[in-house]
Amino acid sequence: MKQSPAERLFTLTCYLLSTEIKGLSKQDIFRAVPGYQDSKTEDAANRLFERDKTSLKDAGIQLEVINNFGFEDADAARYRIAKESFQWPNGLKLDSAKLQLLELAAKSWNNQVLEGSAQSGLTRLKSLGLVASNTDLKPFTPRLLTRHPAFSQLASAIDSGNQVAFRYQKPDGSLSDRIVSPQSLRQIEGQWVLLAVHEGQTKNFLLRRIVSEVTISEAETKRLTLAELQQVEQELSDFVQGNLATIKVTGDTEAQLALNPGEDGIANINFMDEALLAEDLLEFGADVEVIEPETLKRRIRASLKAVIKQHA
């Protein structure tokens, strides 16, 4: 199957990342990446490679040339991308809609390309001893913060227009079985939320509180209009903006990296679910101190007492 320019660049990037220590020669690349094999002559492949190098540079991905004593000789030069230099472009911001699209694209790449030409090219590199035999391309596919296993099934149900069933844990710990018509997935303040119609009412469900597998039924979803969706999403945004926690954070700690406080060490955090925020803050131990709200203070204090009681 012939690769598109975008697929060729992505496959090339993955291969160069997978051999960041010794790199790949141009001939290694031409043998492994299907896009270059479609070139009729070696000169054509070389011109294509030069264009690809420029495209990668424009995208913020810098190729390194090694083992060539300062000269880019066709036979001696080897290319690589150091993993520590592979980062999102400066200034890039992704909203929830773009994150959802990227997540679906990543899943599609895993399911399709890895089964075809990209996987066969990796096999060639392994046979030549250029990459380790246990190398897998999956670590180089996009990794987004949608790690909950329910995400994929919910996204599929939204796309197909079918109802779903799952078990949901309420903030008080009780469980209930829900059959809902999923409408959209969005990320708010670091939490993925499902907007769905349940028993005639539009509700929001945190993916972190789905404690079972999601089952897609044959029943069709009741679709909300665009205006209805926008109204519910605005109401949710207003609700989250109205919930503000003020946290004092100790400097030079993991908590500082995660919560990004101001110069005064104070982090202001909007939240949707106070119980889940408390769980997250407890992981930082004494490196964080809740200033307000009082309800969050009491919740964390109660959790700490419960831990002490269990281990006393």
Q: Give the pLDDT of residue 62.
A: 76
C-alpha to C-alpha distance for 1 and 35, rounded to whole angstroms? 10
Q: What is the pLDDT along the chain (312 residues), one digit of tens a residue?
A: 456 677 777 778 777 776 656 778 888 888 877 778 777 788 888 888 888 888 888 777 778 887 654 444 555 688 887 665 666 556 666 555 555 555 555 544 444 444 444 445 444 444 445 444 444 444 444 444 445 778 888 988 888 889 999 999 988 889 999 999 999 888 787 788 899 999 889 999 999 899 999 999 999 888 888 888 888 888 988 998 899 999 999 988 888 877 888 889 999 999 989 998 998 898 888 899 999 999 999 999 988 888 777 765
**CATH class as words, domain 150-239:** mainly beta
Q: Give the pLDDT of residue 289.
A: 94
How many other CB atoms sit within 10 Å of the CB of residue 133?
7
C-alpha to C-alpha distance for 24 and 17, rounded to whole angstroms? 10
Q: Give the pLDDT of residue 91.
A: 65
The residue assigned the tokens 């069709």 is: 220
> ∠190-191-196 over CA atoms, to 5°?
145
**8 Å CB contact between 256 and 250:** yes
Structure tokens at 193: 């939320």
Q: Give the pLDDT of residue 249.
A: 93
Q: Give the pLDDT of residue 166.
A: 97
C-alpha to C-alpha distance for 154 and 210, rounded to whole angstroms? 11
| In the chain, where the domains are located | 5-140, 150-239, 244-311
Give backbone dihedrals phi and psi of 175, rounded to 5 degrees, phi first. -115, 145
Q: Give the pLDDT of residue 89.
A: 59
Task: Classify residue 292 as exposed, middle or buried by CB count within 10 Å of its CB (0-12, 13-18, 19+).
Answer: exposed
Q: Give the pLDDT of residue 185.
A: 86
Question: Tens digits of per-residue pLDDT, 23-55?
Answer: 788 888 888 777 787 777 888 888 888 888 888
Q: What is the pTM of this model?
A: 0.53
DSSP-based three-state secondary structure for 306: helix
Distance of CA 53 to the CA centre of its chain: 26
